[in-house]
Chains A and B, each alone.
Chain A
Amino acid sequence: MRPTPYRLVRRRRETRDTATFEYVPAGPEQLSALAPGQFNMLSVFGVGEAAFSSCGESPRPGAFVHTIRAVGALTQAIHRLKRGAIVGLRGPFGNPWPLARTAGKDVLLIAGGLGIAPLRGALRSLLKAADPPRRVTLLYGARSPVDLVYRHELRQLRRRGQPPVLLTVDRPDRLWRGHVGVVPKLLTLAAVAPVQTIALVCGPEVMMRFTARALGVLGIEDSQIYVSLERNMSCALGFCGHCQFGPVFICRDGPVFRYDRVRPWLDIPEL
């Protein structure tokens, strides 16, 4: 339960309420690196602690990077931190995305809202994998164009044309030329060879539920789909009970689950 001190070295504003934070060890102690899909417990002195997924590696050795939306007392306190401030980190916790299974396959990375953060980590690893997938496609939906995070990186990807990036928003503005509507609708636009596709999905639960069903309609087996689930967490050690999802503890048994193993539970409202 003991947090390790880390120093905030960089923050990058992503949207009006979201920013990416990078910290390095403040002392001699340091935690093991996060694999994409795993998470840390991050705390601010005297305010509290919560779970945050890795959003990818940093060139700085031993650094952790989290993209965080300011919504509650803790995340607002994180947003108020100045460079040089010390935070507490614990981890790594949970199971990562099954990136080893993607070698030679077609990979769909499907994100809704801030669900893009753990998939950014997956994307960055896949792009430099020794045993790379055959094809990677990123599908990403946000509430509105100004809520898209990593816009700079998305622009770079689109300029390169590889991997293909499909974006959608619920509420377009006047300048938006992309798609409008929910994320599953993007699937009809992606080139999908069902038998050799693996889909990694992260977003609000309702989005994951409908996305997984739409993937099924395309002929992708439930066992080829992975979802990253979220619940309140106080300990990340399987003690506090908050992250129960039917029979599993998301902190310990997840947060990444093979869809066929959690599907019956994901279909139950307010579980």
Chain B
Amino acid sequence: MASPPHTTLETNAPPGSGSAMERLQCILEREDFPRLITVLQEQGFEVIGPTVRDGAIVYERLETAKDLPEGWTDAQEAGQYRLNKRQDHALFGYAVGPHSWKQFLFPANSRLLSLHRDGNGFTVETPAEPAPRYAFIGVRSCELRAIAIQDKVFLGSGAVDRTYAERREPLFIVALQCGVAGGTCFCVSMQAGPRAETGFDLALTEVLEETRHYFVVQTGSDRGAQILAALPHRAAFPEEIQAARRITDHTARTMGREMPKADIPALLKANYDHARWDAVAERCLTCANCTLACPTCFCSTVEDVTDLTGNHAERWRKWDSCFTLSFSSVAGGITRASAKSRYRQWLTHKLATWHDQFGSSGCVGCGRCITWCPVGIDITEEVRALTQTAPPTPPAPG
């Protein structure tokens, strides 16, 4: 075997352009992988990654690489999720689970204010505790896209959300090039994966061969290059880079689902009265699972609570869902009383009006809403039904 090609990493040359990053592909051996977590912890990051809990792969704080779901995989279908043992010791041999990273950047419950009664009035205090400094390990391409979409919502559309901004700014991202397509995955048809090209500090492809287990590592930022420099690594051989490429190519060919090719925003805006909404409403439980599992859904509500003395109040922001009745409740009554109107709001927002609001689709093809729907409603199947039965498109409103 030839000696590894020279890499510029030892000189700390920063990756400046796409082509420079392309060159910076290195090898991290499996036995050295735990160091990645240790090095990030030493840099002051709280490391979050996949782990097995309650029969599912969820995202939680990792202490060591032993917390990763080694040797596990998942089987996913509409309304179904099961963990199975793999024949090998892959650390990332599964698709996405019920959690998404949004729970860390946009917490499901966050305290906005504390208020203290003060004579006849009150004083207002904003939380002073510093935001956590997270490093995420195992972020999929679809999830990077989801983070980019929430960046647009919380940072790039006018007002800046402080809670999100102070978690997002220091975030270190270790992406994972998907080696497994789940039964409900359809990132290819949303142009959101499976290969991550941008938006990460480091990206890993896990390669399992007969006798070897290693990671091909790409750097995506100066910070990423610095962390890699602290790990045992060497430049990758072309055949190792090709092996990594073959893995994501295979993942792309084995997607469990596909979003139909159509002008979906125009289709949905022209079909607010389609009979399919009544059909899906017959099945939809309006349970809100899809919105909680969705990595881009951002709706929230604000609640004020007091202690027993009535002298201290707190204002909390909590995830909310367009599937609840209270979501559209005003003094005059409830706007979206029927299940039909609530499912229609969710789907048309996600796939149509999201483009008007944020310049892209709100869907990344991760398949969570399909897997975690208790009755197995499939977003791709609903769109397909509309494309197949919609009358010729009249001009869309708006």
A positions within 8 Å CB-CB of B:
1-3, 5, 7, 26-27, 43, 45-49, 69, 71-72, 75, 84-86, 88, 114, 204, 230-232, 234-235, 237-242, 244, 246-249, 252, 263-265, 268-271
| Chain B residue at minimum C-beta to C-beta distance from A263 | B397
Asked whether B322 lies within 8 Å of A241 as measured between CB atoms, the reply is yes
Known: A26-B121, A270-B336. A49 touches B353 (CB 8 A): no
Contacts of B305 in A (CB 8 A): 46
User: Nearest Cβ distance between residue A29 and chain B, in whole angstroms?
Assistant: 10
| Chain A residue at minimum C-beta to C-beta distance from B342 | A270
List the 4 closest pairs (A to B, CB-CB), nearest first: A264-B397, A241-B299, A247-B356, A270-B341
Given A246-B398, A247-B353, A247-B398, 15 other A-B residues pairs in contact with their CB atoms under 8 A: A1-B315, A45-B115, A49-B304, A86-B122, A114-B331, A231-B328, A234-B301, A238-B159, A239-B159, A242-B301, A242-B320, A242-B328, A270-B338, A271-B272, A271-B336
Asked whether B113 lies within 8 Å of A244 as measured between CB atoms, the reply is no
User: Nearest Cβ distance between residue B326 and chain A, in whole angstroms?
Assistant: 8
Contact of B302 among A7, A69, A235 (CB under 8 A): A235
B positions within 8 Å CB-CB of A:
112-113, 115, 117, 120-122, 124, 126, 153-154, 157-159, 161, 272, 298-306, 310, 313, 315, 320, 322, 326-332, 335-338, 340-341, 345, 349, 353, 356-357, 397-398
Contacts of A26 in B (CB 8 A): 121
Residue pairs across A and B with CB atoms within 8 Å: the count is 126
User: Nearest Cβ distance between residue A51 and chain B, in whole angstroms?
Assistant: 9
Contacts of B315 in A (CB 8 A): 1, 49
Contacts of A240 in B (CB 8 A): 299-302, 320
User: Nearest Cβ distance between residue A254 and chain B, in whole angstroms?
Assistant: 14
Asked whether B332 lies within 8 Å of A238 as measured between CB atoms, the reply is no
Asked whether B300 lies within 8 Å of A235 as measured between CB atoms, the reply is yes
Asked whether A268 lies within 8 Å of B272 as measured between CB atoms, the reply is yes
User: With the chains together, A86 CA to B322 CA distance in Å?
Assistant: 33
Asked whether B329 lies within 8 Å of A232 as measured between CB atoms, the reply is yes
Asked whether B332 lies within 8 Å of A204 as measured between CB atoms, the reply is yes
7 pairs across A/B with beta carbons < 8 Å?
A: A45-B122, A46-B313, A88-B124, A231-B330, A238-B157, A239-B300, A240-B299
Asked whether B298 lies within 8 Å of A241 as measured between CB atoms, the reply is yes
User: With the chains together, A69 CA to B329 CA distance in Å?
Assistant: 15
* Among A47, A114, A234, residue most surrounded by chain B Cβ atoms (within 10 Å): A234
User: With the chains together, A21 CA to B232 CA distance in Å?
Assistant: 69
User: With the chains together, A88 CA to B301 CA distance in Å?
Assistant: 18
| Chain A residue at minimum C-beta to C-beta distance from B117 | A45
Contacts of A2 in B (CB 8 A): 113, 124, 126
User: With the chains together, A43 CA to B313 CA distance in Å?
Assistant: 12
Contacts of A43 in B (CB 8 A): 304
Contact of A242 among B327, B331, B356 (CB under 8 A): B327
Asked whether A86 lies within 8 Å of B120 as measured between CB atoms, the reply is yes
Contact of B153 among A5, A239, A269 (CB under 8 A): A239
User: With the chains together, A103 CA to B36 CA distance in Å?
Assistant: 68
Known: A75-B331, A230-B330, A249-B357. A47 touches B124 (CB 8 A): no
Asked whether A247 lies within 8 Å of B357 as measured between CB atoms, the reply is yes
Contacts of A249 in B (CB 8 A): 357
Contacts of A271 in B (CB 8 A): 272, 335-336, 341, 345
User: Nearest Cβ distance between residue B156 and chain A, in whole angstroms?
Assistant: 11
User: With the chains together, A269 CA to B121 CA distance in Å?
Assistant: 43
Contacts of A5 in B (CB 8 A): 121-122, 124
User: Nearest Cβ distance between residue A149 and chain B, in whole angstroms?
Assistant: 14
User: With the chains together, A85 CA to B157 CA distance in Å?
Assistant: 36
Contacts of A88 in B (CB 8 A): 115, 122, 124
Contacts of B310 in A (CB 8 A): 46
Contacts of A263 in B (CB 8 A): 397
Contacts of B124 in A (CB 8 A): 2-3, 5, 88
Contact of A237 among B159, B397, B398 (CB under 8 A): B159
| Chain B residue at minimum C-beta to C-beta distance from A233 | B330
Asked whether B322 lies within 8 Å of A265 as measured between CB atoms, the reply is no
Asked whether B349 lies within 8 Å of A45 as measured between CB atoms, the reply is no
Known: A46-B313, A237-B158. A242 touches B299 (CB 8 A): yes
User: Nearest Cβ distance between residue A166 and chain B, in whole angstroms?
Assistant: 23
User: With the chains together, A129 CA to B163 CA distance in Å?
Assistant: 43
User: Nearest Cβ distance between residue A258 and chain B, in whole angstroms?
Assistant: 13
Contact of B121 among A49, A86, A237 (CB under 8 A): A86
User: With the chains together, A46 CA to B381 CA distance in Å?
Assistant: 45
Contacts of B117 in A (CB 8 A): 45
Contacts of A49 in B (CB 8 A): 302, 304, 315
| Chain A residue at minimum C-beta to C-beta distance from B124 | A2
Contacts of A47 in B (CB 8 A): 304
Asked whether A48 lies within 8 Å of B328 as measured between CB atoms, the reply is no
User: With the chains together, A3 CA to B349 CA distance in Å?
Assistant: 30
User: Nearest Cβ distance between residue A65 and chain B, in whole angstroms?
Assistant: 18
User: With the chains together, A79 CA to B329 CA distance in Å?
Assistant: 20
| Chain A residue at minimum C-beta to C-beta distance from B332 | A204
Known: A239-B298, A270-B336. A244 touches B304 (CB 8 A): no
User: With the chains together, A76 CA to B276 CA distance in Å?
Assistant: 41
Asked whether B313 lies within 8 Å of A239 as measured between CB atoms, the reply is no
User: With the chains together, A32 CA to B121 CA distance in Å?
Assistant: 21
Asked whether A239 lies within 8 Å of B328 as measured between CB atoms, the reply is no
User: With the chains together, A244 CA to B330 CA distance in Å?
Assistant: 13
User: With the chains together, A88 CA to B397 CA distance in Å?
Assistant: 39
User: With the chains together, A240 CA to B320 CA distance in Å?
Assistant: 8
Contacts of A241 in B (CB 8 A): 298-300, 320, 322
